[in-house]
Amino acid sequence: MKFSIITPCQSAELPQLLALRQNLTMQVNQDFEWLIALNTPLDLTTPDWQTAFPVHQITFTGQTLGAARNAAIQVATGDWLVFIDSDDYLTPNALAELAAIDPLPADTLADLYQFPTYEPHTSFVASQDQTNVPDSLPKWGGAKRRQPKNHALNLETVVLGQLTPTTTVAPAALNWLEHKFTRNAGVNRWEQFNRQLKITGKVINRQLVQDNQLSFDETNALYPDYTFLTQVMARTTAYVRLANPTYIRVKHNDPVNQPSVHQLDVPDRWQQRVAAWQNSLVAITDPDLHLAFSRYCLYRLHRFLYMALATSETVDSATIVDIPNFMTQLHQFLQLVDDEALGEISMLSRHILTRIRRQPVYPRHAINRIVHLRQLGRVIKHRGRGITRLAYTWWFTKLPIKSKTILYESFLGRNFSDSPKAVYNYLQAHYPGQFKHVWISNPGVTGMPKGQPHTTVVKRFGWRYMYYLATSKFQVINMRQPKWFVKRPGTKFLATWHGTPLKHLVFDMDNVASANPLYKQIFFQQSRQWDYLVTANQFSVDVFEHAFMYPVAKMLKSGYPRNDILSAPNRDDRARQIKEKLGIPLDKKIILYAPTWRDDDYYGVGDYKFTLKLDINRLKRELGDEYVLVLRTHYFITEHLDTTGFGDFVYNESSYDDIAELYLISDVLITDYSSVFFDYAILKRPILYFVYDYEKYGSVLRGFYLDMEKDLPGPLLKTNDDVLNALHHLPQVTQDYAAAYAKFSQRFNAWEDGHASQRVVETFFNESDLK
Amino acid sequence: MHILINVVPQNQLDWSCLTTLVGEFTQQNFAAATFNLQLPAGQTLTAAQQQQLTDWQVTINQHSTTLTADHYIINLRETDHLLPGALQQWAQVMAKHPGSPISLAAFDTSTPLDDQIMAYVADHQESMLQQTYRQLTSATIDDATERLITLWSLQSYSVQTNLQNGRLLTQRIRPTGILLPAELLTPTLPLCSAAQAFAVLRQAPDIVRLHVPTLQREMWAEATPIAWLNELEAIDATKLDVMWQPVYADYFQRQLNTLLTTAGHKQLSRSAHLALLARIKQRTLHPTHRWSRLGLLHMLSPRVAHQLFY
């Protein structure tokens, strides 16, 4: 047996274990056994588990990863131990490439070459079905600058046949040309130290481990690997890494629900880390390795410890508890590190660590100073960018709170619209002069309520913005606040959100769809700062409960303030005024076309994003006497769209502030996968869905909360013929969908009675606030 | 995968160069490849030469009839050279990414090949791959074969999807030295042209770059500046879609600047240089960079510019 694959597993990880089994069956080299260290019973006799390679379950005493791996090592029979975690996977040639290395001496620490990603095995396999490229890898999930850009080309034997017969090349070199790897030995043995200290994807000679009785630390739940790996490193003369990545390490982007060991919220994480370093350093006798490991540890202290200490005193989820005890532990650890390594780190950092080394004290001021200097350094590096934020953190958040100031933000300052606008209008009308209103605006945005009584407009991220963000008692925001926002005691935050959810949100998104790996964690932390979340219907309440993990008790079941205008008694008069403002003839009916934005993923080459699939020429030809078309598209489409040829038939209102006003003037809505139809349905007017790319959009539709085939209040139309036909026969369409429309309205718009703003204001503000 | 090597002489066919190139091709022992000579119009071969081509199994002007969907075609000049193992390396990459065009790194013909290999190997001596290879071999880098193997040790490729990257267009739009998948060829465009390579690029989902040179070839802008200007002008920018138009316009201006630099190295006669300047001046209405050679030419007459640049 060439390899023994060791996979520690917990019962919650069984589904990913099955995915790994599937992955291992695809290995080109099947000369291995798979040892699963798992304490939950696993029935290996079922057909699913009948594989070409032997699979054994190993139970172990205790709960730690270290105990699991040690138990598996005890029963391994392969020449080489391969460490694979249950959520990770391998490329098909991983073991074959390693097996092909000849010679691979026993005193080698081998590495399958980790490739971090957020794409789990199942998603990657599904994407591979479409593009079957042998060297493809999942989407890179590490730091951008570290992404491997090139694939090393392993030459085939036939290329080597190009050499003249008289050429003599060492067999090992010839073998290497066909199976390339990198090798650190001799003077560069301890380069890439960080890579060498990661257990997953490592391949280690079993005899070497067993002869030297090397084992993982079973007492350290978080860092069991350091002691084992440093001892392996001490007993190996070379570090060999395959030239191309073959070990796919899946990172978790939901630390709230599915944290990896490194993401677990453990208050004594730093204590466990330093304890593991200490145990390892004590056992290292090789001076070079001792120096290299000292450097490794000191760099981590220098880079990460100070911020952790500085924030531990201010934030709720402290990463270091019992600082005095930790200082004692650190003091003992620092006695062990090499002086040479300590001398290499920067002066301020060295000063702090030397003080702790001398005495177990907590140099709070020095640590705060270094943290502040780093923050200032970042601002200087970015030539002043971020200075206002620094002022917010350092000074503005220390100023007294202004009890009569309300801060509003709609769509990150892009316009004066949505529910914050409705709340603002309501307060201005019913509580005039009671509050100071501050609106956040991006530079160049028009239509902001500048000049309105008691109203100030501030530039987003400017000095005044930071001042009001820190000192306003009330914040009314329809998206998310900045992640560095500090929720000060005594302030109240109203999250109005901006629509009934159609596409999966936050915690309902899978690992891949979430672009920012920290998105879920950041969203979770941000939403904990919301005092109230406005909801439009019971459906939204149910979705937000799991998608935002937000407590139902803190949701306002009020309907959307922004939709009050659609149920207002004077809505016809308002509609006429808006039409006049836009210059639309009063005798013309209006078709509102609001397609969603499609990005590159759903388009083939040459099929560009700004192509409008609705045949406007034909619409004009057939309906121009009776209708005009109002376009509401993404700004990118708008910029590339030339509507001059359509005369007074097309009105491009893509940059119009308030879409609710466009709803009000229109007689029929054409949309597709955009959530605009939830609000539009309040008007009880016909809705058509022009879904020309419905089949192509299939993978996206799977991420919708609604069943597009069953739940909609209007027809799905795939061609321009269908759209024209529906527009010509609107009464018939209305009649056909009357029942579906009623059901839809009941489900989504039951709370929209035109008084949502009142309900929100009366709940959010105390009576004393409104006096 | 089958490779068609289409040799397109620039002017008069240099028979001795062709003999060398065919020799390099034959030495590759690569079965899945054919060799075609696209003879310039009006040029004829002697009977002996024709017989020689038959013996070498080189076809004449038959490229279009032999191409099928799984073919790749590469245009070369007869003055270009193939490095040992080139075709096998190409074939390996083709097998991994069938249907993608492959852009090839190349050495220049103006400097001796061995010097260039030596410099390349020296430039990459910090590479972990080369360092590992050196650990495994006892041979020294002084030996020519050893240098070639070291070159192989560094070989790598990348799959690039940033097709509209302006800076990389230089290595992606060339009449010669790019492996073009036959299924992406546009029949109405000349097979050996920048327009053809550009059309392939616009249709391709990605492009593969083979990073270590497998060819030695002439730079069009340096060796034949007027022909290169003709090639660039043959691309009708007005017919490009809006996403590509600004990309090509920018590329075109940068190439004109390159031409102004390289054409001034006195490879052209005075009259040819003046004519080139006049043509370039006529083509450029709004130079992007005012203080570039192109910007200066825009402000000056071709004659004054000739005095300055030549």
Residue-by-residue DSSP string for A198-226: --TTEEEEHHHHHHTT----SS-SS--HH
Domain count, chain B: 2
Q: Which residue of A has its CA nearest to B163?
A: A605
What per-residue confidence (pLDDT) applies to A495?
Answer: 97
Same domain, B239 and B102: no
CA–CA min distance B100, chain A (Å): 11
> Is A164 an interface residue toward B (CB < 8 Å)?
yes
Structure tokens at B191: 């097979």
Q: Which of A163, A167, A183 sits opposite B135 (nearest CB)?
A: A183
Mutate which: B1, B82, B136, B243, vs A, most A CBs within 10 A: B136
CA A226 – CA A292 distance, rounded (Å): 13
Alpha helices in A531-658 (DSSP H): 538-547, 564-567, 571-582, 616-623, 635-640
Paired strand residues for A436: A405
For the stretch A502-535, pLDDT in tens is 988 888 887 655 556 778 889 999 999 999 999 9
Same domain, B234 and B212: no
Residues contacting residue A108 through CB under 8 Å, at least 6 positions apart: A205, A236, A237, A238, A239, A240
CA–CA min distance B64, chain A (Å): 26
Q: Which residue of A has its CA nearest to B83?
A: A162
> Is A167 an interface residue toward B (CB < 8 Å)?
yes
Give residue for tokens 């376009």. Answer: A631
CA–CA min distance A111, chain B (Å): 15
Q: Could you tell me if A206 and A5 are in contact, meaning their C-beta atoms sit under 8 angstroms apart?
A: no
Chain B residues within 8 A of A149 when measuring between CB atoms: 158
Are B88 and A159 inside 8 Å of each other by CB? yes
Give residue for tokens 């492996």. Answer: B179
Residues contacting residue A265 through CB under 8 Å, at least 6 positions apart: A255, A259, A317
Residue B74 has pLDDT above 50, yes or no: yes
For the stretch A104-145, pLDDT in tens is 999 999 999 999 998 888 888 877 766 667 788 998 988 889
Angle at A304 between CA A300 and CA A310, to 5 degrees: 145
What per-residue confidence (pLDDT) applies to A638?
Answer: 59
Q: Which of A153, A156, A176 sits opposite B157 (nearest CB)?
A: A153
B13 lies in which domain range?
2-218
Residue B92 has pLDDT above 60, yes or no: yes
Per residue, what are the HEC states of B55-119?
Answer: HHCEEECCHHHHCCCCEEEEEECCCCEECCCHHHHHHHHHHHCCCCCEEEEEEECCCCHHHHHHH
Are A183 and B132 inside 8 Å of each other by CB? yes
For the stretch B14-65, pLDDT in tens is 999 999 999 999 999 898 999 999 988 888 899 999 999 999 999 998 876 6
Paired strand residues for B94: none
For the stretch A295-307, pLDDT in tens is 999 999 999 999 9
CA–CA min distance A102, chain B (Å): 11
| E-assigned strand segments in A139-255 | 151-152, 181-185, 202-205, 238-242, 247-250
Residue B85 has pLDDT above 70, yes or no: yes
Q: Which residue of A has its CA nearest to B201?
A: A605
Q: Which of residues 136-155 of A touch B (CB under 8 A)?
A: 149-153, 155
Pairing of strands A3-8, A55-58: unpaired
Rounded percentage of chain A residues whose pLDDT exceeds 70: 94
Alpha helices in A512-601 (DSSP H): 519-527, 538-547, 564-567, 571-582
Mutate which: A156, A180, A196, vs B, most B CBs within 10 A: A180
Q: Could you tell me if A441 and A447 are in contact, meaning their C-beta atoms sit under 8 angstroms apart?
A: no
What per-residue confidence (pLDDT) applies to A12?
Answer: 86
**Residue A159: which of B54, B153, B76 has the closest Cα?**
B153
What per-residue confidence (pLDDT) applies to A177?
Answer: 94
Q: Which of A135, A161, A164 sits opposite B29 (nearest CB)?
A: A161
Rounded percentage of chain A residues whose pLDDT exceeds 90: 74
Average pLDDT over all residues of chain B:
89
For the stretch A378-392, pLDDT in tens is 999 999 999 999 999
For residues A436-444, give the mean pLDDT: 96
Q: Which of B92, B203, B242 sits opposite A153 (nearest CB)?
A: B92
Instruction: Look at A634 and A572; give whichever has higher pLDDT.
Output: A572
For the stretch A647-667, pLDDT in tens is 789 898 888 888 899 999 999
Q: DSSP labels for A51-74? A: -SS-EEEE--SSS-HHHHHHHHHH
For residues A386-406, give the mean pLDDT: 96
Return contacts of A718-724, CB within 8 angstroms, 24+ apart.
A718/A691, A718/A692, A718/A694, A719/A692, A720/A613, A720/A614, A720/A615, A720/A618, A723/A614, A723/A619, A723/A670, A723/A688, A723/A690, A724/A618, A724/A619, A724/A622, A724/A623
Same domain, B204 and B230: no
Same domain, B233 and B177: no
3-state secondary structure of B157: strand
CA B276 – CA B87 distance, rounded (Å): 37
Chain A residues within 8 A of B204 when measuring between CB atoms: 605
Split at pLDDT 50, 70, 90, the class of A257 is confident
Give residue for tokens 């978080």. Answer: A222
CA B265 – CA B253 distance, rounded (Å): 19
For the stretch A169-202, pLDDT in tens is 888 999 999 999 999 999 999 999 999 999 999 9
Are B85 and A180 inside 8 Å of each other by CB? no
Residue A601 has pLDDT above 60, yes or no: no
Split at pLDDT 50, 70, 90, the class of A608 is very low
> Is A177 an interface residue toward B (CB < 8 Å)?
yes
Q: Which of A153, A183, A188 sits opposite B89 (nearest CB)?
A: A153
> Is B137 an interface residue toward A (CB < 8 Å)?
yes
CA A607 – CA A482 distance, rounded (Å): 36
Select from B195, B218, B241 the last residue of a domain.
B218
What per-residue confidence (pLDDT) applies to A530?
Answer: 97
Same domain, B45 and B82: yes
Average pLDDT over all residues of chain A:
91
> Is B140 an interface residue toward A (CB < 8 Å)?
no
The ipTM estimated for the assembled molecules is: 0.89
CA A576 – CA A574 distance, rounded (Å): 5
Split at pLDDT 50, 70, 90, the class of A609 is very low
Taken as a whole, chain B contains a residue count of 310
Same domain, B155 and B277: no
Same domain, B54 and B186: yes
CA B223 – CA A202 distance, rounded (Å): 52
> Is A183 an interface residue toward B (CB < 8 Å)?
yes
> Is B155 an interface residue toward A (CB < 8 Å)?
yes
| E-assigned strand segments in A91-168 | 108-111, 114-117, 151-152
Q: Could you tell me if A111 and A196 are in contact, meaning their C-beta atoms sit under 8 angstroms apart?
A: yes
Residues contacting residue A738 through CB under 8 Å, at least 6 positions apart: none
Same domain, B40 and B118: yes
> Is B139 an interface residue toward A (CB < 8 Å)?
yes
> What domains can be seen in chain A, in order of their start residue?
3-147+180-253 (3.90.550.10), 269-385 (no CATH), 391-563 (3.40.50.11820), 569-748 (3.40.50.12580)
Residue A642 has pLDDT above 70, yes or no: no
Chain B residues within 8 A of A159 when measuring between CB atoms: 85, 88-89, 92, 152
Same domain, B14 and B111: yes
Select from B184, B218, B252 the last residue of a domain.
B218
Give residue for tokens 């003599």. Answer: A168
What Å distances lie between residue A358 and A281, A305, A352, A362, CA to CA? 19, 18, 10, 11
Select from B174, B190, B218 the last residue of a domain.
B218
CA–CA min distance B155, chain A (Å): 6
Same domain, B240 and B156: no
Pairing of strands B102-108, B178-181: antiparallel
Other beta carbons within 10 angstroms of residue A386's beta carbon come to 18
Are B149 and A169 inside 8 Å of each other by CB? yes
| E-assigned strand segments in A370-487 | 402-409, 436-441, 455-459, 472-477
Same domain, B163 and B203: yes
Same domain, B136 and B278: no
Q: Which residue of A has its CA nearest to B25?
A: A162
What per-residue confidence (pLDDT) applies to B116?
Answer: 95
End-to-end CA distance of chain B: 47
CA B43 – CA A394 distance, rounded (Å): 81
Which helix (H) or strand (E) element contains residue A363?
none
For residues B266-287, give the mean pLDDT: 76
For residues A596-603, give the mean pLDDT: 51
Q: Which residue of A has its CA nearest to B87?
A: A159
Split at pLDDT 50, 70, 90, the class of A602 is very low
Q: Which of A164, A167, A172 sits opposite B136 (nearest CB)?
A: A172
DSSP B11: S
**Residue A220: which of A449, A363, A63 has the closest Cα?**
A63
